[in-house]
Structure 1
Amino acid sequence: MKIPFDLETVLARIEKAIAAYPKAAMFDLYERGFTTLFEQLISCIISIRTLDETTIPVSLKLFAQARTPEAMLLLSHENLVQLLYGSTFPGQKADTILGISKTAAEKYNGQLPADFEGLTALKGVGPKCANLALGVAANVPGISVDIHVHRVVNRWGIAKTSQPEQTMVFLQKNIPQKNWININRLLMPFGKNICTGSLPHCSTCPVLNYCAQVGVTKHR
């Protein structure tokens, strides 16, 4: 028997349930000291279609060489591609990172604009990375929806969307702004380790009594 969905209770239970699991990559890197908006945005670019287990070491390898737009521009394209090896599309990401660095250095005196419109105006920066970087680095409320967040909220039954972009718009309209940053921080590791794509751990899920289990035919 399901009970009425209560977001505050659900997020509090998830916070406890994921404590033993690795943090989402951007939040992990922030705790390691990579706190600037530039570093967070670059790490998010690296993370595109790349697992956190790869995103973190690749980011650390890159930041050992360059942590500012000016330092990044001293790297050759070839060197940058080598540093990005392991992530998907390293050549394309090198182009994006050098473009962001050039704009930051020439237009913004080395500091990226801490607003959604300014970041999404940069070539290669989409809503997901803009919101995530702003939330983590600048505490600017934003919702970043990856495949895990998209799956979880639709499985709960609070959203009925077919694409992550639609889910982002829905959540922005329907959940309190104070919870926006926590959506990715909590639901990414929750979706990766508990509410998994196949055979989710429903029998031990801390929020099962709130979840409609939409689309779940088999579970653990």
Structure 2
Amino acid sequence: MKELSEKNIIEVLERLKEAYGTRPWNWHTQQKPFYVLISTILSQRTRDPQTDAAAQALLRRFPTPHDLAHAPPDEIALIIRGVNYHRTKALRVKEVSRIIAERYGGKVPTDLESLLSLPGVGPKTANCVLLYGFHQAVLPVDTHVHRIANRLGWVNTRRPEETEENLKEVIPKTWIPYVNDLFVKHGQTLCRPKRPLCEECNVRNYCQYWKDREHQKGPEKNL
């Protein structure tokens, strides 16, 4: 942490930008706010391809908050059966849609507090809506962001909420909107939870995890 500098942070982000670009890969992060919200709720504990397939099918059938609020829960569950906990999520997206239709006139709220008041919406989901739906400069922290930020040595945290606050203190503001997408892409491609592909990583020389791993190998690595 003592070696952490803004220059190093920018160099890492520039390298990730060169590798992955800044355009979102996933369908659900390129949509209007209501679609981002519903898709992100569906994405919890579910891989992105399954999330996108379920979200597209559901929102094609029930495209507005009013439509989804009045949809039969069993039909919703059937459509989104490809995601984990699909029955629970069916009830959740129906209730969220009802609140948006009745309390907010069919418009997704644009502030964090209102989003967090929706059932099943935590900081990561709320920030995804603000970032991808409303293009606000916020920093959603999912498992990829939390893992990679700690591996790099930018933070030393146990919970995503801590990671978010600490990252906002060290990352230049102009880069804040890009961190989630870059880290998610990197986490899905190379910096995996288990058996990360460090040898293929273009930021490994900036990474504390890599340095610690190489140090543990000792002199044998040169034999």
TM-score of the two chains, using structure 1 as the length reference: 0.87
Distance 1:153 1:75 in 2: 40
CA distance in 2, matches of 1:109, 1:91: 26
- Residue 19 (structure 2) pairs with residue 17 (structure 1): yes
Runs (4+) off by over 4 Å: 2-5, 214-219
Distance across 1 between alignment mates of 2:158 and 2:81: 32
The CA distance in 2 between the partners of 1:189 and 1:164, in whole Å, is 18
Q: Match for 2:163 among 159, 164, 167?
A: 167
Corresponding residue SS for 2:88? helix
For the residue of structure 2 that corresponds to 1:64, the secondary structure is helix
Cα separation, partners in 2 of 1:109 and 1:15, compared to 1, 3 Å = same
Among all aligned residue pairs of Structure 1 and Structure 2, give the percentage whose two residues are the same amino acid. Answer: 31
Measured against aligned partners, the alpha-carbon deviations of 1:158-211 in whole angstroms (never above 9, x if no partner) come to: 110112222112112332333222111110010111112222222221112211
Give the length in aligned residue pairs: 211
- From the two aligned structures, give the one with the greater helix fraction: 2
2:172 to 168, 171, 176: 176
Q: Does 1:196 align with 2:215?
A: no
State the 1:83 CA deviation.
1.2
Q: Larger Rg: 1 or 2?
A: 2
Structure 1: runs of 5 or more not aligned: none
Which residue pairs with 2:137 in the alignment? 141
CA contact (8 A) 2:70 2:94 kept: no
> Out of 55, 76, 95, which is 1:80 matched to?
76
SS in 1 for 2:208: coil
Q: Indicate if the aligned counterparts of 1:152 and 1:187 stay in contact, CA closer than 8 A.
A: yes
Q: Is the 8 A contact 1:41 1:133 kept in 2?
A: yes
Q: Is the 8 A contact 1:24 1:188 kept in 2?
A: no
1:42-70: CA deviations, max 9, x gaps? Answer: 00000000011211111111111012101
